[in-house]
Amino acid sequence: MVETYAPLLLMFALAFVVVIGFFLASHYLGPKKPSPEKMMPFESGNPSEGASHLRMSVKYFLTAISFVVFDVEVVFLYLWAVHFKSLGGAGLLMAAAFLAMLLIGLVYELRKGALEWEN
Amino acid sequence: MNANILLGLSPLLIVAVGALVLMVVEALSRFRDERLESPSASLAVSSSVVLFASAIAAAGVWFYGPENLPEVSSLAPWLLLDRFSLFFFVILTLGGALSCLLAGGYLPEHKLDRGEFYPLLLLSTVGAMTLAAAGDMLTIFLGLEAMSLGVYTMVAFRRGSPRSIEAALKYFLLGSFAAALLLYGGALLYGATGHTDLSGIGSQLANTGLRLVKSDSEVPSDMLLIAYDNAVPLVMVGLVLILVGLAFKVSAVPFHMWTPDAYEGAPTPATTYMAVVVKAAAFALMLRVLLIAFADAKTASWGTGWPPVVAGLAVATMTVANVIAVRQESVKRMLAYSSIAHAGTLLIAVVAATKATQQAEASMIYYLLAYTVSTAGAFGTLILCGSRGAEAVSYEDLAGLGRRHPAIAFAFSLFLLSLAGVPPLAGFFGKFYLFRVAIDNGFTMLAVLGLLNSVIAAYYYLRVLVVMYMKEPEPGAPIAVPMRSGYVAAALLISAVLVVLLGLLPNGTLEAAILAAG
Amino acid sequence: MTSIPLEYYLVVAAVIFVIGACGFLARRNALIVLMSIELMLNAVNLTLVAFNRWYASHHVGQMFTFFIIAVAAAEAAVGLAIVVALFRLKRTVRTDSVDLLKN
């Protein structure tokens, strides 16, 4: 059991050691002469400006929230699709009811203006 | 699907379909302009009608007899539509309907008049009903989340208020954490027993028969790493995780930290809903899980199982909550702690249920019904005492209310006395029967501690009465101006009638509760 | 070819669950706390699917997992909505920025 994975583990360990080794080596061996220009973040030669952290508009979050829900609920359709034949008419009916409920949610979202990008 | 199944499911279906229809109607209606006095008032009425209809349907199935609907057993173990579930359906829909009526007065008064509240409340009630009827970890999880997701949103309903959002955030984070613990416990039990349905777990645990890895035919041979004995720790860890999850949900000390904050920050109708419906559903869940899945001789015995843990939770919950409640200056927060204390009292009955299941369950069901109407009434009166910009929260706000508004003060006294357990009101009989069951089954110490705590509790309930009737507001101090609302008045009237009726004529309800527990 | 023993999956799941729980208790960024909860739920998923290999006669464990995935999405949506509401009021998503309700 362990023997099967030993080479893999060895490779991971080796890679880890090498990477850490190079980092440490450059940290200790390289000369350091910091100056204000050198400490600035490199932005293709332009002087850097603005905050380093780009703030996303809340609008993206709202869209993401809707996306997450509708995207994942569809997972149940996979199960239905896999057993489409054996579930037959009853399955079709159930899936239709499921989709109808999702549709109600979509209609609700549309009417409430949750999907309008501009304000 | 045949007609009998539909009939059995009708209490749930009425609320679910009603919620979806109201949601669409509210979204599509063109009458949503600002000039209307209260655009969502009609929603409050129709939602409470839906909930009362569901309660009537549950009562109908009750009188028709679930045993006359043999087809509903095909829904087991997902949903157990027995008398226990039906009685809880009535408690839950009653609590939901009262909260709806309170919202009908509260939301317009406080400029929160958005229609989403009612579909959320209805959908959350569907979750609570599913939870009360669930007999499988899967339906328990679905019901729990359906209920909780609605409530988180209702707590956050006052979007512009940092308090409301803070309450919602705390409640959401701790609620999801508790659900995850419960779920992981369930997953470990599934591993140990091969069942996710409560009765399956219970019978596996009872006939020693942890199912785990015995016959080589069942399992690929290379997977036989976990020995049979190792299933016992799995069950223990699973039980502990489930107990902690349940303790969070019924807000037992020391897992109660979210409760006062969530109750205080939420709009008061949402607080009412949490104190009444969520609590009742959580106790239904607790009874089902502990008394079906963990009812075997070993797990449910005082020496080797969960009863001493629950007893400890009960004592800690009652004592800590009552001591803190005494020190509160906000009446709303005091009522929040009082609801935690009541949960502690109910936990006594959970312990007693290991000896006399039927009586203890019946006493809990009766207590929950009495608690539901008294608490909904108390929060309702608090809503009625305030108006826009001047919500009544502190004791001072209520000073002199007895002289200025005798009817409101009288109603408030009625509900508080019932919560304190003063005869002949509903709360008295609930407490009496619960403590008697505890004493009859040898849990005298617990009952005595419960009684002592009732004395502490009486102090802070009576303090409200003293302030209302015997104090006058300081000159210049802001006084609460009661609002006017037919909806709130209707909710209070229903609660008051039930509080008096349950106190004066307890026998019929009690017999029904015993039947439900049986 | 031998397959990976069940224990390994269970241990990985337990570790993920504990990481999630620790993240939940220790971190103060609401979004990271949300992620921690998701992590815990996914640990449950892994446990259920792994245990299901023992009980090959049914698929309860796997079926359960689908429901957890779906509900977790709904939960994340509500959680994100609350965090967005918090951000709009406070311009921050730190959970220790909200302390109005202490007494």
Interchain CB distance below 8 Å, C100 and B149 = no
Within 10 angstroms of residue B147's Cβ, the number of other Cβ atoms is 28
* Range with top average pLDDT, B21-25, B97-101, B293-297, C49-53: B97-101
Burial of A106 (0-12, 13-18, 19+ CB in 10 A): middle
Binary contact (A111, B20; C-beta < 8 A): no
User: What is the rounded CA–CA span in Å between residue B208 and residue B299?
Assistant: 11
The band of B237, judged by pLDDT with boundaries at 50, 70 and 90, is: confident
Over residues B353-373, mean pLDDT: 94
Q: What is the CATH code of the structural domain delimited by C6-92?
A: 1.10.287.3510
Contact A71 C70 (CB under 8 A): no
Query: Which single residue is written with the structure tokens 């409920």?
Result: A101
The pLDDT of residue B246: 94
- Among B151, B190, B326, most C C-beta atoms within 10 A, so best to mutate, is B190
Task: Give the number of other Cβ atoms within 10 Å of residue B13's Cβ.
Answer: 15
Q: Which of A44-48, B180-184, B192-196, B455-459 has the lowest mean pLDDT?
A: A44-48
B130-139 burial, b if ≥16 CB within 10 A, otherwise e?
bbbbbbbbbb
Interchain contact, C40 vs B153, CB within 8 Å: no
For A28, other C-beta atoms within 10 Å of its C-beta total 7
The reported pLDDT for the residue numbered B500 is 94
Residue C4 confidence (pLDDT) above 90:
no
Residue B79 sits at φ, ψ, to 5 deg, of -125, 130
- A80 CB-side CA count, 13 A: 17
B20 and chain A in contact, CB less than 8 A: yes
Tens-place pLDDT, residues B379-388: 999 999 888 8
3-class SS of residue B79: strand
Q: Domain ranges for chain A, please list them.
A: 2-39, 58-112
What's CA B332's distance to the chain center, in Å?
17
The pLDDT of residue B30: 60
Average pLDDT (B110-114) is 84
Who wins on pLDDT, B38 or B466? B466
Contact B476, B386 (CB under 8 A): no
Per-residue confidence (pLDDT) for residue B216, from 0 to 100: 43
Residue type, B418: S
In this complex, the residue of B180, B264, B328 whose CB is nearest that of residue C37 is B180
Contacts of C76 in chain A (CB under 8 A): 68
**Model pLDDT, residue B229:** 54
Lowest mean pLDDT among A6-10, A96-100, C65-69: A6-10
In degrees, rounded to 5, the angle at the alpha carbon of residue B503 between the alpha carbons of residues B502 and B509 is 35
In chain B, residues with a C-beta closer than 8 Å to the C-beta of C29 are: none
Q: What is the DSSP string of B338-361?
A: HHHHHHHHHHHHHHHTTT-HHHHH
| pLDDT bucket at B217, cuts 50 / 70 / 90 | very low
- Is it the case that residue A5 has pLDDT exceeding 80? no
Q: Is the ipTM beyond the 0.85 threshold?
A: yes
- Mean pLDDT of the B52-73 span: 92
Q: Report, at the CATH architecture level, how domain A58-112 is classified.
A: Up-down Bundle (1.20)
- How far, CA to CA in Å, does A85 sit from each of A75, A95, A100, B106? 18, 13, 21, 52
Lowest mean pLDDT among B95-109, B212-226, B499-513: B212-226
- Minimum CA–CA partner of C86 in chain A: A58
Residues of B in contact with A104 (CB under 8 A): 20, 23-24
Residues B32, B30: Cα–Cα separation, whole Å: 6
**Which conformational region is residue C91 in: left (phi greater than 0), alpha (psi within -120 to 50 degrees), or beta?**
left
Q: Calculate ∠ Cα B178-B238-B206, nearest 5°.
A: 135
- Min CA distance, A112 vs chain B (Å)? 7
pTM over 0.95: no
Question: What is the separation of C-alpha B274 from the centre of its chain, rounded to a whole number of angstroms?
Answer: 7
Give one DSSP letter per residue of C50-99, joined into a string. Answer: HHHTT-TT--HHHHHHHHHHHHHHHHHHHHHHHHHHHHHHHS--BGGG--
Angle, CA A99 vertex, CA A96 and CA A100 arms, to 5°: 85
The answer to whether A79 contacts C66, with C-beta atoms less than 8 Å apart, is yes
Cα–chain center distance at B136: 20
CA dihedral angle for residue B303, residue B361, residue B98, residue B375, rounded to 10 degrees: -50
User: Where are the domains positioned within chain C?
Assistant: 6-92
Mean residue pLDDT across chain A: 82
Least CB-CB distance to B166: which of C17, C43, C101?
C101
**For residue B16, what pLDDT is reported?**
95
Q: Quote the tokens at residue C12.
A: 């990985």
| Residue C1 contacts B, CB cutoff 8 Å | no
CA–CA separation, B264 vs B257, rounded Å? 12
pLDDT digits (tens, 9 = 90+) for B135-190: 999 999 999 999 999 999 999 999 888 889 999 999 999 999 999 999 999 999 99
Report the percentage of chain A scoring pLDDT > 90.
11
What's the confidence (pLDDT) of residue B205? 82
Residue A116: exposed, middle, or buried by beta-carbon count in 10 A (0-12, 13-18, 19+)?
exposed
Compute the average pLDDT of residues B232-248. 88
Contact of C66 with chain A, judged by CB distance below 8 Å, is answered with yes
For residues B142 and C69, the answer to whether their CB atoms sit within 8 Å is no
Cα distance between the two ends of chain C: 62
User: pLDDT tens digits, residue range B466-515?
Assistant: 999 988 887 777 777 788 888 999 999 999 999 999 999 889 999 999 99
**Which residues in chain A are contacts of B74 at CB distance < 8 A?**
none
Contacts of C39 (CB under 8 A, 6+ apart): C16, C17, C19, C20, C23
pLDDT of residue A52: 61
Name residues whose C-beta falls within 8 Å of residue B443's C-beta, 6 or more positions apart in sequence.
Answer: B311, B348, B351, B352, B355
Interface contact B223-C74, CB threshold 8 A: no
Q: B394 forms bridges with which residues in the sheet? A: B330
